[in-house]
Each structure stands twice: as C-alpha cells, then as structure tokens.
C-alpha cells in the first residue's frame, strides 16, 4: 500500500511542507504522485513561504590549505562549528562571488579571462540557470542583483563607467531567466567611486550610495560631508532612479572620518548601507570619534522616517582596535531586541560575533571557528524554485 493511500491529501501536504528540500528531492523518487505534487508550482510557492521562517546566511570559509575558500548556506547558529559541513553543502570555490539571493536562488559572478559570467544557482537542488557576461572592456563600477516582482525576473544591474562622456555612469540591466541579454536604461545619477559597493535589494528596488554633482568635487579632496551623499534607488519595475537624502543629522559630518586607510569608502568590504530589521539602514563607523551608529529608514522612501537605532562607542562594544576594525550588522533576533554584528578586518577572518541587546544596552560574544572569513549580509532560504523564462 502506498503512503499516499494511507494519508489523506491535506495531511500529506502539511507534512511535506515542513520537510527540508533535500528530503523532498528524495521523496520525488517514491512515486509519480509525489513527484507531481512536489513539482507543482502551488506547492513550490507554499513551501517557499514556509521556509522563510528559518532564515540562513552564506558563510565563507577558508579551506584548510589556506589557498581557496568555499561558501556554505547555514543558520547563524552554526558559526561555532564548521565540522558539521559536508562536501554537498559547499556551493562553489573562490573564483565565484556571491552577489545576492532571492527565493532560494543565489546570484553568482564568476571571474575568468574574458570578464564576469553571472548565473543563478539553487544550492539545494544543485540546478544552475541563466548566463550573462560582462567583458573586461566594460569598466564596471558597481553591481546589483534583485528580483522584479512585476515581471518575475531575476536581474543583474551593472553600473559601467565610460571616460570622456557627458554621461559617464551608464546602467545596464539583464535578466537571468530569459534570453534578452543586456539593455541600457536610465544612467546612474551620481558618482559611485568614493562610496562604491554592490546594490542593496529592498522593496523591488536596488540601492547604492553616490555623490550627485560629482563634477563639483576633486577626487584628491575628500572634504565632502554626508549632506553631499545620496541613496540612488533604482525601481526594477519602472527602471528609473530616484534620490533619497541621508539623515539631516549627518550634515557637516565628513566622509574622511569613516575612511579605511584610503581616501574612499568601499562598501563591498564593509557596507555602509544595508537592510536590518526589514528597513533600509546606514552602518557608520566613525574612526575619529571611535563610535558606531545605525540609522534605519522606518518607511522606505520617506526621508523623514530616518531613526537612530544605535549609537555607541567601540569600547562599549568590546573593541580595542579602531583603524583595522570592520563592523557589519547582520540581522536582528529575539523579537528585534538583539542586533547581531560581525567584527572583522580587511583581508582577515571574522574576529568575533557581537550580540548587542538594545533593551539593556549590554554586549555578549559568540565563539567562532578560526577559518570563518565572512558572512554575507543577506538572507537565504531553501527552496524548490526553478526560474522559467
């Protein structure tokens, strides 16, 4: 007697919706009925919604030979033990860069002799989708990955720099689940170089920091304050940009106070803008005052909704070094009471994980494995999603 004959369909569905994807992949082989049910688009969607309750992150580990690294999707609770990972957990080696994740699909960029190849990868089903290439002759300034929920497309956006042009920062967009290739859309509205970094996805938009009126500044002069910086937000549905101002409390605060051993703010290595608690946020480590602050835009698009979530000294965070420290808030836990903060340094492993209790203003620390290089600051959920053109 088959299992589907013993259990009524509603009970069977509830059981399957609670199983991890790896188990469902095995159940597909039980019978044609199970295969049909598990691959049904409605089931895939319901399972994805159920999976969102258990969010994972991507952890980048250094191999034992210290010549390459690998990426593993894992809950934040696994940072203390990397011995539980198996070969099947590993996504790709060091030639790949993780650009973002949505619906359980990961956007990877592979560097080769020709340029950058982008594709989607489902870590659980091991399926690979799409293929977009940027050649080396394209002077890429910044990248972004996001999902357009109006067209159901997974998009890569490239900000390309062209010398001797009236519009030096051009924007190209390409979908990874159709074959339309790259299209040029509205040009980037600001200079990204002083505050460069990958785009932050939120609410069907990609968001970067940039400096408008860039012709007014000399690159050798970093006496620019944050009132000269904006968030350039690209709506993936309309494919147009809008600009959002930073908190007015930052007016007159100089960018150079936040620079790391150079004259630019590199958001890739230590992001200044991100998503925390579902809100677009700023993460500001002032190296002059030795303070760390977090601002949240409580209502996306409303510049008046900027709220100071945290402002504390490095000493209160238990950090003794200032110049070499990189701080990145990862997520909020315990009903948004605690902030999980990565403490790392450039070209080094993660030093510690800091848990900051907003209610009691106290700090605790988590032990980590010595070979943990980085934790990518975006959520990942397991899914059965297979993008179809």
DSSP assignment of 50-99, as one string?
A: HHTTS-EEEEEEE-TTSS-EEEEEE-GGGGG--TT--GGG----TTEEEE
Q: What is the mean pLDDT of the chain?
A: 81
pLDDT digits (tens, 9 = 90+) for 326-353: 888 988 887 888 999 988 876 567 888 8
3-state DSSP assignment of residue 303:
helix
Could you tell me the pLDDT band of residue 17, with boundaries at 50, 70 and 90? confident
Is the predicted pLDDT of residue 176 greater than 80, yes or no?
A: yes
CA distances from 340 to 10, 56, 184, 203, 366 (A): 39, 14, 38, 23, 10
Q: Which residues pair with 331 in a beta bridge?
A: 340
CA distances from 143 to 31, 104, 139, 201 (A): 43, 20, 11, 11
Tell me whether residue 110 is exposed, middle or buried, using C-beta atoms within 10 angstroms of its C-beta: 0 to 12, 13 to 18, 19 or more.
middle
Could you tell me the pLDDT band of residue 263, with boundaries at 50, 70 and 90? very low
Tell me whether residue 342 is exposed, middle or buried, using C-beta atoms within 10 angstroms of its C-beta: 0 to 12, 13 to 18, 19 or more.
buried
Place of tokens 């315990």: 334
Q: What is the mean pLDDT of residues 180-205?
A: 86
Is the predicted pLDDT of residue 199 greater than 80, yes or no?
A: yes
Is the predicted pLDDT of residue 286 greater than 50, yes or no?
A: yes
**Regarding predicted confidence, which is higher, 264 or 366?**
366
Q: What is the pTM of this model?
A: 0.88
């Amino acid at each position: 007697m088959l299992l589907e004959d013993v259990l009524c369909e509603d009970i069977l569905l509830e059981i399957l919706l609670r199983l991890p994807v790896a188990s469902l992949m095995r159940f597909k082989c039980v019978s044609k009925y199970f295969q049909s049910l598990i691959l049904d688009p409605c089931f895939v969607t319901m399972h994805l919604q159920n999976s969102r309750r258990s969010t994972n992150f991507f952890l980048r580990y250094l191999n034992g030979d210290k010549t390459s690294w690998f990426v593993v999707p894992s809950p934040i609770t696994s940072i203390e033990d990397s011995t539980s990972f198996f070969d099947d957990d590993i996504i790709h080696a060091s030639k790949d860069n993780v650009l973002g994740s949505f619906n359980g699909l990961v956007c990877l960029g592979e560097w080769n002799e020709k340029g950058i190849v982008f594709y989607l990868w489902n870590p659980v089903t091991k399926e690979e989708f799409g293929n977009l290439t940027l050649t080396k002759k394209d002077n890429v300034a910044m990248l972004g990955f996001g999902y357009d929920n109006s067209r159901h497309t997974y998009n890569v956006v490239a900000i390309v720099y062209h010398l001797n042009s009236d519009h030096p920062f051009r924007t190209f967009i390409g979908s990874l689940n159709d074959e339309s290739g790259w299209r040029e859309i509205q040009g980037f509205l600001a200079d990204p170089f002083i505050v460069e970094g990958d785009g932050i996805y939120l609410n069907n938009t990609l968001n970067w920091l940039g400096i408008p009126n860039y012709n007014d500044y000399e690159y050798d002069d970093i006496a620019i304050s944050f009132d000269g910086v904006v968030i350039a937000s690209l709506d993936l549905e309309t494919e147009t940009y809008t600009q959002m101002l930073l908190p007015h409390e930052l007016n007159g605060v100089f960018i150079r106070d936040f620079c790391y051993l150079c004259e630019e703010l590199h958001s890739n290595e230590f992001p200044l803008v991100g998503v925390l608690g579902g809100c677009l946020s700023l993460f500001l480590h002032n190296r002059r005052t030795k303070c760390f602050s977090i601002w949240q835009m409580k209502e996306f698009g409303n510049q008046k909704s900027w709220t100071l979530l945290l402002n504390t000294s490095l000493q209160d965070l238990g950090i003794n070094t200032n110049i070499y420290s990189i701080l990145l808030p990862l997520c909020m836990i315990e009903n948004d009471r605690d902030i999980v903060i990565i403490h790392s340094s450039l070209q080094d492993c993660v030093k510690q994980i800091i848990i900051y209790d907003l209610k009691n203003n106290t700090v605790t620390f988590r032990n980590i494995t010595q070979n943990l290089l980085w934790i990518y600051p975006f959520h990942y959920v397991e899914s059965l999603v297979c993008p179809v053109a």
